[in-house]
Amino acid sequence: MPVRIAIFDDNKNIRESITLLLQTEPAFEMAGSFPNVLDCLDDVKKSNPNIVLMDIEMPGMSGIEAVRLIKKEFPGVLVLMQTVFEDDDRVFDSICAGASGYILKNHLNHKLIAAIKELQFGGSPMSPSIARKVLNKLQQLPEYVKPEAAPDYHLTPREKEVLACVVNGLSYKMIADQLFISYETVRTHIKNIYEKLHVASLAEVVHKAMKEKIV
Amino acid sequence: MPVRIAIFDDNKNIRESITLLLQTEPAFEMAGSFPNVLDCLDDVKKSNPNIVLMDIEMPGMSGIEAVRLIKKEFPGVLVLMQTVFEDDDRVFDSICAGASGYILKNHLNHKLIAAIKELQFGGSPMSPSIARKVLNKLQQLPEYVKPEAAPDYHLTPREKEVLACVVNGLSYKMIADQLFISYETVRTHIKNIYEKLHVASLAEVVHKAMKEKIV
DNA sequence: GATCTAATCCCCCTATTCGGTGATTGTCCG
DNA sequence: CGGACAATCACCGAATAGGGGGATTAGATC
């Protein structure tokens, strides 16, 4: 069964040249070709592609928003961004929106077929400079999202509930109401939490809990 | 000037075959070949490579730790991980440690030369399945590390300093000492911060500050 | 020169948190 | 059954945080 491919690009020449290019591969089948993303959900539904080629700069809605919508509605569709932009924000936004590949247009033609095949077989084709940016982004993430061997503080289920309340800024009294227990019990739990986390104030608890993503 | 390459791999056969392979390229020069990473900082210093090929499974210290050390001491050195592992944790750890590429050993030979060249020219070679994992990881990050238009609360420089102290769990008194101002001034700043962030307790401040990465 | 803002400081009073110590209940497990 | 532990509640006193008010100084802005 051939791979069905849909294109979103406002430039007619590009759409046509990509169509021609893809026709040289019998394994590919053009599912659709659209000049904007205003009806992208409908377009995808009707053309039923396996892979979507998405331009970023587009009249009306941005290609990035379109990716978000498409991935939400059709999680199985793979999206390959193709654009001239390589500023960090757009790259990162596209990926967060659900793109599975990102190639720059300047070396589009001689890479596109390989990229689609790579996508199809579980890869994520990226232009070299994009790949580097992506790795740099991961390296620059704040410590607390990186996989540190999150130490286990042996908090009991109830203590974790109390902790969650604390992190959300509730006072002892509010926590007591929330959990239908007395003020004193809340205090006991929090004392135990302090003990187990080796801290001594709400601020420290919130900090540690968020940093080590215990909550 | 040729690219200087150093190898860390505990398997002598692999080291030798890579050495042979790289010798076929005049643009490459072997800077060193080491069976373990116990003296990796010395090794790197003496062999002075542009690019390091790093195995993960190694006697003594893990290759990932070695990458961390090397990148810390020699930020300019590019590291290419080469391993049989592709579990999410090791991939992600390696990247966070500072690796600029990650290729699987099973298709090492026919990719290695291309990978090194890509690395050299600003790319980040990754085996397809690794690239996909990396993108998935980025997509799964919690909302608060994604680039939301972080609202500006118009905190003054001094207020930001105080906020940082608060987030780190310091009491008013400790903050006063730290910043060489009086307890009362700390209080004033914190009152203003409360006002600007629309909160009313340290716990809420810490939560909001961390969530919206104001600090 | 008048206005504005950041940064500093002070007082009063109340609310909340923190540390220590102790107790009861129920459940799970060997 | 006895021990371990989670979960509940209580009291005391000290420390800290929070809300309200008002004040001065030095710079920037106009």
Best to test chain B binding among A80, A93, A96 (most B CBs inside 10 Å) = A96
**Residues of chain A positioned with their CB less than 8 A from the CB of B92:** 138, 146-147
Structure tokens at A5: 């491919």
Task: Give the Cα separation of B81 and B64 in Å (integer).
Answer: 9
From A27-36, A92-101, A102-111, B131-140, the region with the lowest mean pLDDT: A102-111
Residue B97 and residue B54 in contact, taking contact as beta carbons nearer than 8 Å: no
- Whether A23 has its CB under 8 Å from any CB of chain B: the answer is no
CB atoms within 10 A of CB B4: 17
- By C1' distance from the Cα of B191, the closest nucleotide is D18
Does the beta-carbon distance from A134 to B132 stay under 8 Å? no
Instruction: Check residue B1 and give its pLDDT.
Output: 74
Helix, strand, coil percentages for chain B (3-state, nearest 5): 55, 15, 35
Helix (H) or strand (E) holding B58: none
Q: What is the pLDDT of residues A161-174, one digit of tens each?
A: 899 999 999 999 99
Query: How many separate helices (H) and strands (E) can be counted in chain B?
Result: 10, 5
pLDDT of residue B149: 54
- Give CA–CA dist A110/A143, Å, rounded: 39
Strands B51-54 and B3-8: parallel
- Token code pair at residue A20: 């021609």
Would you state the pLDDT for residue A142? 61
Q: Which residue is closest to A166 within chain B, CA to CA?
A: B203
Q: Which two tokens stand for residue B93?
A: 């750890």
Nucleotides of D under 7 A from a protein CB: 5-11, 16-23
Q: Strand, helix or coil at B31? A: strand
Query: Is B164 in the A-facing interface, judged by CB distances under 8 Å?
Result: no
**A122-153: string of b/e by CB count within 10 Å (b at 16+)?**
ebbbbbbebbbbbbebbeeeeebbeeeeeeeb
Looking at residue A155, its pLDDT comes to: 86
Strand partners, B103: B82
Interface subset of A 78-107, CB within 8 angstroms of B = 89, 92-93, 95-96, 98-101
CB-closest option in B96, B199, B206 to A139: B96
Cα A1 from chain centroid (whole Å) = 29
Residue among B140, B153, B144, B141 at smallest CA distance from B213: B144
Q: Are A61 and A74 in contact (CB under 8 A)?
A: no
3-state SS class at B69: helix
pLDDT digits (tens, 9 = 90+) for B38-80: 998 999 999 999 999 999 887 767 888 899 999 999 999 999 9
Under 8 Å between Cβ of A12 and A47: no
Interface contact flag, A128 B123, Cβ < 8 Å: yes
Distance CA B144, CA B199 (A): 19
Between B23 and A88, name the one with better pLDDT: B23
Whole-number Å distance, CA B39 to C1' C1? 70
Residue A2 gets which letter from DSSP? P
pLDDT of residue B102: 93
CA atom of A191 to C1′ atom of C18, Å: 8
